[in-house]
Amino acid sequence: TLALMPGATVTIVETGQTLVVGSDAYFKFILTEPGIYTLRVDLAGFQTYTEDGISMEAGNELNIDIELEPLEV
């Protein structure tokens, strides 16, 4: 579970699961397979955020701090 700016697109690269963050600014993926995952976050006006090597076990919850950097103009 993670708070993020509404409208951001969040993807787990290995599974292809994608969602758009809603107005509550939180999102949650349900992973059934333990493994090492890559998280990608895209939002217009910001650099794409990628975090590799996220280790997850089935049923575990993980909080990740994400800071999106604005695009340079």
Instruction: Tell me the pLDDT tens digit for each residue of 56-66.
Output: 887 777 777 78
Q: Which two tokens stand for residue 45?
A: 């006006």
Q: Which residue has the tokens 């939180």?
A: 26
Report the share of the chain in percent with pLDDT over 90.
41
Report the share of the chain in percent with pLDDT over 70.
95
Residue 23: which region, alpha, beta or left (left: phi > 0; alpha: psi -120 to 50)? alpha
Instruction: Examine the pLDDT at 2 and tell me if it is beyond 70.
Output: no
